[in-house]
Amino acid sequence: MGLKRICGWIIRKKAIGRVVIIEVSSDRVKPYVVVLKEEREPELYAVGKELDVGTALCFEGEEAQEQKSVRGIEYVARKIEVYAKPIEPLPVDTMGKVPALLDTRIKYRWLLVRNPVEKAIFRVRSAMLAAAREYLSSNGFTEVQTPKIVAAGAEGGATLFRVQYFENEAYLSQSPQLFKQMLMAGFTRVYEITPYFRAEKYNTTRHLNESWGIDVEQGFINSLEDVLNTLENLVAYIIDYVSRNNAEELEVLGVNLRKPSTPFKRLRFQEAVDILRSEGIEVSDTEDLSDQAEKKLGEIMAEKGHDLYFIVGFPWSSTGFYYMREENGVYTRKFDLDYRGLEIASGGQREHRYERLVEALREKGLNPASFDFYLEAFKYGMPPHGGFGLGVERLLMRMLGLENVREAILFVRDRVRLVP
C-alpha cells in the first residue's frame, strides 16, 4: 500500500522487552498502533522509548503485513517527527481506562476527544449534520442564516438573554422562528442549522442554555401532514445515514442503532393525556406535558413498539402565538416529536393570515407594534406554511443512548458553565 503519513497524539505507550508499542489518536476513531522493534528500527526504537503520553507527532509508515493488534490498525514506522511534548502530566486519562466524572469530562472535552469513545460521539454528530444537509438540499430546501441578535423573541417572556446593542436593548435569539417564516414570502423551502439561546434556569439532564437545532420551514403546504412527513423522513434519513457511514463509531460506542420505519405514530394531545391519566399520572388539559409525563409516555409507547411518535393538536393556551388554531379555537396545529420519552422536535402549521396573527398576539398579551418587522411579511401574499426545530443534542443523545445532554455538545453552556 506504500508509505502513509499520519499525525496525532500518543494516548497509550507500552514497552515489552525490546519492543515499544505506541497508540496514536488521529481523526479516525480507532487509534493507529505503531510497533517499534529495536532489532528492526533501532533509531526509531530509541526515540519511541523516550516519548510520553500526550506527545504530538507525525509518523510515516506502512500497514503491517500481519495485523496482531485488536485496538487499531498496526503500522511499521519508517520515520517519526515529534512536534510537541506535554510540559506536565495530562489532567485526564485520554485512553479512558480511568473513568472521569461528567464535570471533568466537560471541562477537558477538548483534550478527551483524543479518546476513541469521546471522538466517536462527535464524529456521529458531524455525520448527523452532513446527513441533514444532504437530505434537505436534495429535497429542494435552501440553507439560510438568520440573525442571532434580535429585537424581539419568538416566544417572549423570561427565556431571553438581554444584550446591550449600542443604544438599544436587544436579545440573543431563542429561535429563527420569526425570520424563517418571513422568508416564506420569497422562498418555498428553507432550513438553517443554528444555535438557540434560552435563559431558562434549568439544571436537568435534558436542558442547555445554548444548544443547536436543525430548523426547517416549508411553504404552500396542503396540511400539517406535509410538515410531519418532512420531519419523519429527515430523522429516518439521519439515522440510516449514521448506520451506513459510522459503523466504526457505533462499534466503539457499543450502540446498535435501530432504523425507524415511517410513518411515525400520530397521537393526539388529548389521547396522550388520557393514556397518562390511566397510568395514574396527573396532567393538565391545557398545559404542555412535564418532563416526568413525557418520560412515562415514552415507556408506554415503547411497550407498544413506538420509539418515535408525534404528539399533535396542542391546546392554544400552551403554544406560541404563531401556531394556526383548529376550527374550534381550543387546539392548534402544533406538534412535538418524541424519541423514547424525550421531546426532540417541535413545530406545526403557522398562522399565515395577517389579521389572525395580530389577534393572536393580543390574546397572548404581546404588543403587535413590537412585531411590526415580522407582521409586514404577511401583507404581501404569504402562503400556508409550517415547519419545525429539531434539537441536535437531543437527537444525538437518544441515538447513542447518552445519559446527559451535556455529553452531546463539545463546549457546554448551562447555568454554571461559561468556560471553556
Q: For 204-223, what is the mean pLDDT?
A: 97
Q: pLDDT digits over 217-255, tens only?
A: 999 999 999 999 999 999 999 999 999 999 999 999 999
Average pLDDT over residues 338-363: 97
Over 90: is that where the pLDDT of 157 sits? no
C-alpha pair distances (Å), 108 with each of 94, 100, 228: 10, 10, 39
Looking up cell 514506522, which residue turns up? Answer: 77
Task: Provide the annotated active-site residues.
Answer: 198, 200, 206-207, 343, 346, 394
User: What is the residue-averaged pLDDT of the chain?
Assistant: 94
Cell numbers at residue 118, please?
469521546
Is residue 88 predicted with pLDDT exceeding 90?
yes
pLDDT band at 70 (very low <50, low <70, confident <90, very high): confident
Give the span between the Cα atoms of 402 and 406, in whole angstroms: 9
Q: Where are the domains of the chain?
A: 4-89, 112-408
Q: pLDDT tens for residues 373-394?
A: 999 999 999 999 999 999 999 9
Q: Which fold has domain 4-89?
A: OB fold (Dihydrolipoamide Acetyltransferase, E2P) (2.40.50)
Query: Does residue 155 have a known ligand-binding role?
Result: yes
Evaluate whether 4-89 and 112-408 have a shared fold: no
Give the per-residue SS3 of 63-80: ECCCCCCCCCEEEEEEEE
Check the annotation: does 392 bind a ligand.
yes
The answer to whether 393 is a known ligand-binding residue is: yes
Q: How far apart are CA 275 and CA 326, in angstroms?
A: 22
- According to the CATH classification, is domain 112-408 in 3.30.200.20? no
Taking only Cα atoms into account, the Rg of the chain, rounded to an integer number of angstroms, comes to 26
| 363 known member of a binding site | no
In the DSSP assignment, the letter for residue 350 is: B
> Could you please report the per-residue DSSP string of 315-348?
BGGGS-TTBPBPTTSSBBSEEEEEETTEEEEEEE
Distance of CA 299 to the CA centre of its chain: 22
Per the CB < 8 A criterion, the answer to whether 409 and 212 are in contact is yes
